[in-house]
Amino acid sequence: MLPVTLTLNAGSSSLKFSLFDISGEPAQMAIGLVENIGGQPRLKANLGDRLARVERELPATEAADHTSALATVLALLRSSFPGAKASVVGHRVVHGGPHYTAPMVVTGQVMAELKRLSPFAPIHQPHNIAGIEAAQAAFPEALQVACFDTAFHRHHPKANDVFALPREYYDKGIRRYGFHGLSYEYVSEELKRTAPLIHAGRVVVAHLGNGASMCGILGGRSVASTMGFTALDGLPMGTRCGQVDPGVIFYMVQQEGRSIDEVRDIFYTKSGLLGLSGISNDMRVLESAGVPEANEAIDYFVFRIRRELGGLAAALGGLDALVFCGGIGENSRKIRRRICDGLDWIGLELDHDRNDSNTRVISTDFSRARIMVVPTNEEIVIARAAKRLSSGTEAAAG
Ligand code: ADP
């Protein structure tokens, strides 16, 4: 039997999955997702080189909730890879609270803690927990491993961990957690492997996707990030507002008479690129729209990234590299160019030809700091952790 690990990333109405061969360094065999769980679900999957791409509508009963969606995924994987045996399942979990600084085997105690943390990430954590419970039911023998988006940032210096609120709130867990940690960990490990001197230095990573954040990393450790208590802070995103003055909330509630749920909905789902443009949350659509509203949304996105870059470089005491990842960071040469142009004062000089050809290093040979594109891979970070923890458990049992 081929030892494999399944990685799961359960969202509100989606279940993303990957299958890795873990007989050696984890190698991806399949990737896919079920979307529109609870509605009119669709399955999309890519089952490796030799097998055809799968994309089809599912009967509503085959993905009515995360449990049935997982059963549908497993049926597909079992028929495609009959010789595979998953003894460990890795989960992306958005919130690990103040104490989880590394992936954890999910015990009853860990599960209780994840549930206790749900109010800190009410839009994501309950779905992550549903994913773990579905996997526990489907693989009662398997080890479940939780990998946290917050963990990479848990060594922030205190000044980057607090809000200037009354002290008791820090103890109640109101802290600057930071997110996208699995992506930052991947990029940082890639730098360690391919550019060790850069890894040892001062790096800002810009994870620019539908969700977007930036992180200042010093010698492989997160020092500061643009996301704070929730994944709402910092940069504008597809539909999330990023940083706003909290006074706006009071105004909407007290003067406009909106409920807190309405305000939350505006901040999470109607703002960002979508809200500003009034057109789309999708950068490709905005880039080709050619109308002032779309351009204004892009202008704001670029402006906030440049502003945060300055702040993070100050937090790091300088800059040795700026690294782009995420759907926009990896693909949009126009956005990268707009971010980097005129930043020679901070040591960044973009090579336009390299940028246009999407190579890994896109700065000139004379640029004091390097500009790079490193396609991220959060799933492999989860698969590596799952493998590591499962072999640790086997060793302990043996
Ligand atoms: P998520 O945060 O959901 O994982 P992704 O990392 O997949 O999101 O990023 C999605 C974003 O990347 C969308 O705004 C999409 O328009 C953008 N994107 C993908 N490819 C391109 C491209 N070639 N040019 C510009 N933007 C792109």
Contact predicate 176/228, CB 8 Å: yes
The mean pLDDT of 357-365, rounded to a whole number, is: 96
Classified as helix, coil or strand, 2 is strand
Give the strand order in the sheet containing 221-225: 221-225, 212-218, 202-208, 321-325, 370-373
**Range scoring the smallest mean pLDDT among 42-56, 268-282, 317-331:** 42-56
Query: Which CB contacts under 8 angstroms, 24+ apart, belong to 170-173?
Result: 173/97, 173/98, 173/120
The mean pLDDT of 291-300, rounded to a whole number, is: 98
What would the pLDDT profile of 62-83 be if each residue is shown by its tens digit?
999 989 999 999 999 999 998 8
Higher pLDDT, 392 or 398: 392
Cβ-based burial of 270 (10 A; exposed 0-12, middle 13-18, buried ≥19)? middle
The mean pLDDT of 263-279, rounded to a whole number, is: 97
| Helix 247-254 vs helix 260-269: crossing angle, to nearest 10 | 130
The rounded Å distance from CA 72 to ligand 1 centre is: 27
The rounded Å distance from CA 211 to ligand 1 centre is: 9
Question: Does 188 sit in the ligand 1 pocket, CB within 6 Å?
Answer: no
Q: What is the pLDDT, as a whole number, of residue 398?
A: 44
Strands (E), the chain: 2-10, 15-21, 27-35, 42-46, 53-57, 84-93, 104-105, 143-148, 202-208, 212-218, 221-225, 321-325, 370-373
Task: Tell me the best of 12, 18, 31, 210 to mutate to test the pocket of ligand 1, counting ligand atoms within 8 Å of each CB and taking the most.
Answer: 210
Is pLDDT above 50 for 91? yes
What backbone torsions phi and psi does residue 186 show, to the nearest 5 degrees? -60, -50
Task: Tell me the best of 274, 328, 335, 376 to mutate to test the pocket of ligand 1, counting ligand atoms within 8 Å of each CB and taking the most.
Answer: 328
The rounded Å distance from CA 326 to ligand 1 centre is: 7
Q: What is the pLDDT, as a whole number, of residue 391?
A: 86
Residues 6+ away with beta carbon under 8 Å from 300: 236, 276
Give dist(CA 23, CA 390) in Å, integer.
12
Give dist(CA 281, CA 269) in Å, integer.
10
Task: Report the number of secondary-structure helices (H) and strands (E) in the chain.
Answer: 15, 13
Task: Tell me the best of 124, 284, 339 to mutate to test the pocket of ligand 1, counting ligand atoms within 8 Å of each CB and taking the most.
Answer: 284
**Range scoring the smallest mean pLDDT among 119-128, 157-166, 183-192, 209-218:** 119-128
Nearest one of 89, 111, 39, 98 to 68, comparing CA atoms: 39
Is pLDDT above 70 for 394? no
Question: Does 328 sit in the ligand 1 pocket, CB within 6 Å?
Answer: yes
Residues of the chain with pLDDT > 90, as a percent, come to 90
Nearest one of 87, 98, 79 to 23, comparing CA atoms: 87
Residue written as tokens 């779309």?
294
Contact predicate 93/128, CB 8 Å: yes
Q: What is the pLDDT, as a whole number, of residue 393?
A: 66
The band of 12, judged by pLDDT with boundaries at 50, 70 and 90, is confident
| Cα 189 versus chain centre, distance | 16
Q: Whose CA is nearest to atom 19 of ligand 1?
A: 327
* Terminal C-alpha separation, the chain: 20
Question: Does 332 sit in the ligand 1 pocket, CB within 6 Å?
Answer: yes
The mean pLDDT of 189-203, rounded to a whole number, is: 98
Give the strand order in the sheet containing 53-57: 53-57, 42-46, 27-35, 15-21, 2-10, 84-93, 143-148, 104-105
Beta bridge partners of 73: none
The rounded Å distance from CA 75 to ligand 1 centre is: 30
Selected catalytic residue, list 149, 161, 233, 320: 149
Q: What is the pTM of this model?
A: 0.94
Residues of the chain with pLDDT > 70, as a percent, come to 98
Contact predicate 128/91, CB 8 Å: yes
Strands (E), 22-83: 27-35, 42-46, 53-57
Q: Whose CA is nearest to atom 24 of ligand 1?
A: 332
The rounded Å distance from CA 298 to ligand 1 centre is: 13
Q: What is the mean pLDDT of the chain?
A: 95
What backbone torsions phi and psi does residue 224 show, to the nearest 5 degrees? -155, 150
86 residue type, one letter: A
Q: What is the pLDDT, as a whole number, of residue 48?
A: 80
Active site annotation includes 149: yes
Q: What is the pLDDT, as a whole number, of residue 50?
A: 64
Contact predicate 81/45, CB 8 Å: no
| Helix 181-194 vs helix 378-397: crossing angle, to nearest 10 | 90
